[in-house]
Amino acid sequence: MIQRHNTDETTMAYINLYAVLGALENLVQMDEEAKALIADKKISVGFAVAGGPAAALCFDHGTCTLKSGVERCDIKLPFSSPAKFNGMIDGTVTPIPSKGFTKIRFLLKDFTKLTDILTRYLRASEEDLKDPEFFEKSTALMFYTIVSAISQIGNHDQVSRTSASYMKDGIIRVAIAGGPVAAVCVKDHRLRTVKKAPKAPDAQMEFGSLQIARDLFDGRVNSLACVGTGDIRMGGMISMIDNMNRILDRVALYLA
């Protein structure tokens, strides 16, 4: 894997597992083809990264849930380093299961198809984005991936941990108007993303439309300018949002 400037492999591994592969939870809710691939499946795939994250994707008859730990997974994929796991995501490393070898067909067939569909949404072509329905799903999946990445970067990236150290306990609601909603929960300077609307947020940041969110994600517009024009609305404990935005600025370095 090519080392990105001013980033580290361990943080990237947490992002790849919890934010990128974690988006499969949302993919199977949005995409009928993806949901059909696991409609009759009950199986879990665990990823155990030495010096990094350990979690399992649990597929259950059309649903997908990412759970911490790999103790009870059906298929276990061990990685000797974060760089090796990142290599699997980049397509340069082929993992060998340490458990569940007889179930490898699911990995090679259905799981690979799922990740291919996800990649199409997250690395969307201009042609695909001309379809309004595809545009909406792609932008929503990018939203969930980015908001999930904020927590992983805030917890593991050396630069962003400084920003996290200034954040008080509380909940930040992050949303696209009329679209997806998530929460970044802060406790003892550790961040956790919950992909649903919080009941009582201490602060909130809302993108005015799917198009505004997309333009920001793709780097076409400046976030400060959008705040000035009202295309991004903020409220509540602004210091929490300021520090979260410093972390958000580093998301592009990792997900570029």
* Ordered domains of the chain (ranges, CATH): 9-123 (3.30.1050.10), 127-255 (3.30.1050.10)
Structure tokens that stand for 167 in this block: 């954040």
**In whole angstroms, what is the distance from residue 111 CA to residue 249 CA?**
31
* pLDDT computed for residue 6 by the predictor: 63
Q: Going by C-beta distance under 8 Å and a sequence separation of 6 or more, which residues neighbour residue 194?
A: 182, 183, 185
What does pLDDT average to over the chain? 94
Mean pLDDT of the 146-151 span = 97
Closest to 239 in 3D by CA, of 183, 186, 194: 186
* pLDDT computed for residue 224 by the predictor: 77
For 126-139, write each residue's pLDDT tens digit: 999 999 999 999 99
For 168-225, write each residue's pLDDT tens digit: 999 999 999 999 999 999 999 999 999 999 999 999 999 999 999 999 888 888 777 8
Task: For residue 23, give the DSSP letter.
Answer: G
Mean pLDDT of the 9-27 span = 98
Q: Are 88 and 9 in contact (CB under 8 A)?
A: no
Above 50 in pLDDT, residue 70? yes
What burial letters (b/e) apply to 36-55, b meaning 16+ CB within 10 Å? ebbeeeebbbbbbbeebbbb
- Name the helix (H) or strand (E) containing 196: none
Mean pLDDT of the 156-162 span = 95
Query: What is the value of pTM for the model shown?
Result: 0.95
Q: Are 186 and 173 in contact (CB under 8 A)?
A: no
* pLDDT computed for residue 45 by the predictor: 98
Mean pLDDT of the 246-252 span = 90
* pLDDT computed for residue 11 by the predictor: 97
* pLDDT computed for residue 34 by the predictor: 98
- The percentage of the chain sitting over the pLDDT mark of 90, rounded to a whole number, equals 89
Neighbour tally for 101: CB within 10 Å? 11
* pLDDT computed for residue 2 by the predictor: 39
Structure tokens that stand for 210 in this block: 């799917």
* pLDDT computed for residue 3 by the predictor: 44
